[in-house]
Amino acid sequence: MAAMANFCLVFLVLVSCAMLPSLILAQYIEPSGTFIVHVSGSHKPAVFATHRHWYAAVLRSVSADPSQLLYSYTHAATGFSARLSFPQAAVLRRIPSILSVLPDQPRQLHITHTPHFLGLVDTSGLWPNSDYASDVIIGVLDTGIWPERRSFSDYGYSAVPSSWKGICEIEPDFPASACNRKLIGALSFYKGYEAALGKPMNETRESKSPRDTQGHGTHTASTAAGSVVSDAGFLSYARGEARGMATKARVAAYKICWSFGCFDSDILAAMDQAIVDGVNVISLSVGATGFAPPYDRDSIAIGAFGAAQHGVLVSCSAGNSGPTAFTAVNIAPWILTVGASTIDREFPADVVLGDGRVFNGVSLYDGDAFLDESDYLELVYAGDCGSRYCYEGRLDSSKVSGKMVICDRGGNARVVKGYAVKLAGGLGMILANTADSGEELIADSHLIPATMVGQIAGDKIKGYVVSDPNPTATINFRGTAIGSFPPAPKVAAFSSRGPNHLTPEILKPDLIAPGVNILAGWTGFTAPTDLDIDPRRVEFNIISGTSMSCPHVSGLAALLRKAHPSWSPAAIKSALMTTAYYLDNSGNNITDLATGEQSSPFVHGSGHVNPNRALDPWTSVRYRPK
């Protein structure tokens, strides 16, 4: 009996010890996340029929549920993404066949007349010599697409190219008819996004389909390859013809960005699929926040290298973190990295002070014209009224009501500042740049009469408020102006810059292209300001960012791909860089709006894109990835 008792005691101790981890786990759940696992494809054991079977076995080996596998990558990269605990990820890093295990990182979006500004005409040069990029396929990885826009009309298009292997995803709000001979494919990628959320997305706020509910993707797609629309415009501004760079190119939309970001696992899956589908150019106006990560930890760089190996050029935005140095992202040597510049079209809205001085500004305000040159309002500075940045709810209405308010740029969205002034009873706003933005002027569709002025003008206007006992001002809205003053192009202050902090000997950005006040298609889901308080809906919108400059170059790359079908991605990139220019339309060196001084190669790269010269460059390089 004593022996039996000892046996039972030992048994109970063993069972209790075995149960202890479970009891602990019941109180403490190991932290987990989504990881991207890059593997050496040549190490796949022969016992597994496919890489996906191998990946499932790898997950089981670390006690991970194979159902947690989100994507399997084959072309843009070799590997998979899955939900893992941090200890499981650590174990995977010790397996010889696994090259790296990287946390899934969120990326951010970097948010007409430009063909004429770029010298593109129907009679000579790149357009007729490339047949407008007919049958070249541009894969746009972004927030999706609003397929009903006229920019995606397939009128006059021939059959879909036989090289296209993709599909059109059909969802309740995205019927089969959404795709046509222009928009030939559309897919959505959200597994990484929902894994990061930890729950399904809110489908009352965003569409779980390729449909664009943010506007960014529709804008970039129509910039790269929009069909000709003869009577385009935004409200009363920029009226005329709108067209993409490559008007006959086909569009494939890959939705990778959602309300709370764009995740690496989804981006890499979309790049992988785009290669399989047969795209010729990938346009990606998305990037990291902060400094660019090392190439071997940057999913966009890894995917772009895989794309280059398959003959697909990847064009990316440099980012909107200027004017600080070393801020450019997407800086891998095989990526075409694009900064932002101005064009020769302005939307002037000048500040007229009570003492007669006039300061140039810009605006897209299109409301009731109760402010004109005879309507002078008392002028106050928001810094004297509770909030220099005009934060909502912080302005003293007793000091603001019925007046024109000067708000400093920064801290919150530019259009939201005007709304804050309106809530406090103000009747107008002057948005003044600070040192960070210098003389960069961005036109916004304000909700109240408002304009933006540069730092120099802003300082003088604020000085007037201090020195004059009865300061007053009005705004003179002058519509759309095209001409050689002010000179263009200039480098946008927000455009991210080099030097390249990873490989300083390689110039980044590669070049600049139009990215300020760009007219292109827009979603029907949200307002032009992307604010819930704005009830307006428009077919076209005018916005700014390197997100806008990137698709310009993506479209130009498609034109060169058609004109020179034997050119590699590196040859196309070289042609665009070696033919870029660095003089504005007044014959002077391109200036930097952040400083007002001459720009440098670390700011504008090799220069401003010059598509007609790129058709027949003097020099080019050949690159064959091993």
Distance CA 295, CA 307 (A): 15
Cα 301–575–74 angle (5° rounding)? 30
Q: H-helix or E-strand containing 341?
A: strand 336-341
Confidence of residue 108 (pLDDT cuts 50, 70, 90): confident
The SS3 call for residue 395 is coil
Q: What is the mean pLDDT of residues 108-135?
A: 88
Tell me, what's the pLDDT at 27?
Answer: 36
Tell me, what's the pLDDT at 372?
Answer: 54
Has residue 354 got a pLDDT over 70? Answer: yes
Residue 70 makes CB contacts below 8 A (sequence gap 6+) with 34, 80, 81, 82, 83, 191, 192, 195, 265, 269
Distance CA 83, CA 196 (A): 9
Distance CA 9, CA 23 (A): 20
Q: Are 436 and 493 in contact (CB under 8 A)?
A: yes
Q: What is the mean pLDDT of residues 361-378?
A: 79
Tell me, what's the pLDDT at 182?
Answer: 99
Confidence of residue 112 (pLDDT cuts 50, 70, 90): low
Cα 281–285–286 angle (5° rounding)? 120
Tell me, what's the pLDDT at 623?
Answer: 53
- The predicted-structure confidence for 152-179, as pLDDT tens digits, reads as follows 999 999 999 999 999 999 999 999 999 9
Confidence of residue 12 (pLDDT cuts 50, 70, 90): very low
Tell me, what's the pLDDT at 42?
Answer: 84
Has residue 621 got a pLDDT over 70? Answer: no
Q: Are 468 and 375 in contact (CB under 8 A)?
A: no
Residue 133 makes CB contacts below 8 A (sequence gap 6+) with 225, 246, 247, 248, 249, 555, 558, 559, 561, 562
Q: Retrieve residue 242's tokens.
A: 């709108």
Could you tell me the CA-to-CA distances from 581 to 43, 118, 514, 584 in Å, in that order?
A: 48, 11, 13, 8
Residues acting as catalytic residues: 142, 216, 547
Distance CA 82, CA 84 (A): 6
Tell me, what's the pLDDT at 23?
Answer: 32
Tell me, what's the pLDDT at 444?
Answer: 95
Q: What is the mean pLDDT of residues 46-69?
A: 90
The SS3 call for residue 37 is strand
Q: Where in the chain is the domain with CATH 3.30.70.80?
A: 30-103
Residue 3 makes CB contacts below 8 A (sequence gap 6+) with none
Distance CA 433, CA 455 (A): 4
* Site of tokens 């396929």: 137
Tell me, what's the pLDDT at 483?
Answer: 85
Q: Where in the chain is the domain with CATH 3.50.30.30?
A: 348-479
Confidence of residue 619 (pLDDT cuts 50, 70, 90): low
Q: What is the mean pLDDT of residues 387-391?
A: 97
DSSP state of 523: -
Backbone angles phi, psi at 373, to 5 degrees: -65, -10
Q: Domain 30-103 belongs to what architecture?
A: 2-Layer Sandwich (3.30)
Tell me, what's the pLDDT at 356?
Answer: 93
Q: What is the mean pLDDT of residues 114-133?
A: 92
Q: Are 378 and 400 in contact (CB under 8 A)?
A: no
By percentage, how much of the chain surpasses pLDDT 90? Answer: 84
- The predicted-structure confidence for 33-55, as pLDDT tens digits, reads as follows 999 999 998 888 888 988 899 99
Cα 273–181–175 angle (5° rounding)? 75
Q: How many CA atoms lie within 13 A of 385 on its CB side?
A: 29
Tell me, what's the pLDDT at 20?
Answer: 33
Q: Is 561 exposed, middle or buried (0-12, 13-18, 19+ CB in 10 A)?
A: buried
Distance CA 458, CA 463 (A): 8
Q: What is the mean pLDDT of residues 395-399?
A: 97
Q: How far is CA 321 from the centre of its chain?
A: 12
Q: Retrieve residue 79's tokens.
A: 């590997």
Tell me, what's the pLDDT at 506?
Answer: 96
Q: Retrieve residue 557's tokens.
A: 């790359």
- Domain 108-344+488-614 fold is Rossmann fold (3.40.50)
Has residue 136 got a pLDDT over 90? Answer: yes
Distance CA 139, CA 475 (A): 43
Distance CA 424, CA 391 (A): 11
Distance CA 233, CA 521 (A): 9
Q: Are 475 and 426 in contact (CB under 8 A)?
A: no
Amino acid code (one letter) for 293: P
Query: Which segment of 105-119, 149-163, 302-316, 600-614 scores lowest on mean pLDDT?
Result: 105-119
Tell me, what's the pLDDT at 618?
Answer: 72
Tell me, what's the pLDDT at 24?
Answer: 34
ω into 509 cis (within 30 of 0): yes
Distance CA 220, CA 39 (A): 33
Backbone angles phi, psi at 353, to 5 degrees: -85, 160
Could you tell me the CA-to-CA distances from 569 to 93, 169, 277, 314, 624 in Å, in that order?
A: 33, 29, 17, 8, 10
Q: Are 336 and 314 in contact (CB under 8 A)?
A: yes
Three-state secondary structure readout of 260-321: CEEEHHHHHHHHHHHHHHCCCEEEECEECCCCCCCHHHCHHHHHHHHHHHCCCEEEEECCCC
Q: Are 180 and 159 in contact (CB under 8 A)?
A: no
- Domain 348-479 fold is Glucose Oxidase; domain 1 (3.50.30)
Q: Is 404 exposed, middle or buried (0-12, 13-18, 19+ CB in 10 A)?
A: buried
Cα 445–449–452 angle (5° rounding)? 65
Backbone angles phi, psi at 497, to 5 degrees: -125, 170
Distance CA 618, CA 609 (A): 15
Q: What is the mean pLDDT of residues 75-85?
A: 95
Q: Where in the chain is the domain with CATH 3.40.50.200?
A: 108-344+488-614
Tell me, what's the pLDDT at 541?
Answer: 96
Q: Is 248 exposed, middle or buried (0-12, 13-18, 19+ CB in 10 A)?
A: buried
Has residue 89 got a pLDDT over 90? Answer: yes
Beta-ladder partners of 336: 315
Backbone angles phi, psi at 173, to 5 degrees: -100, 10
Tell me, what's the pLDDT at 79?
Answer: 95
Query: Which segment of 15-24, 197-206, 222-231, 416-425 scores lowest on mean pLDDT?
Result: 15-24
- The predicted-structure confidence for 232-278, as pLDDT tens digits, reads as follows 999 999 999 999 999 999 999 999 999 999 999 999 999 999 999 99
Average model confidence (pLDDT) across the chain: 91
Has residue 624 got a pLDDT over 60? Answer: no
Q: What is the mean pLDDT of residues 386-405?
A: 96
Query: Which segment of 7-11, 228-232, 292-296 scores lowest on mean pLDDT?
Result: 7-11
Tell me, what's the pLDDT at 498?
Answer: 96
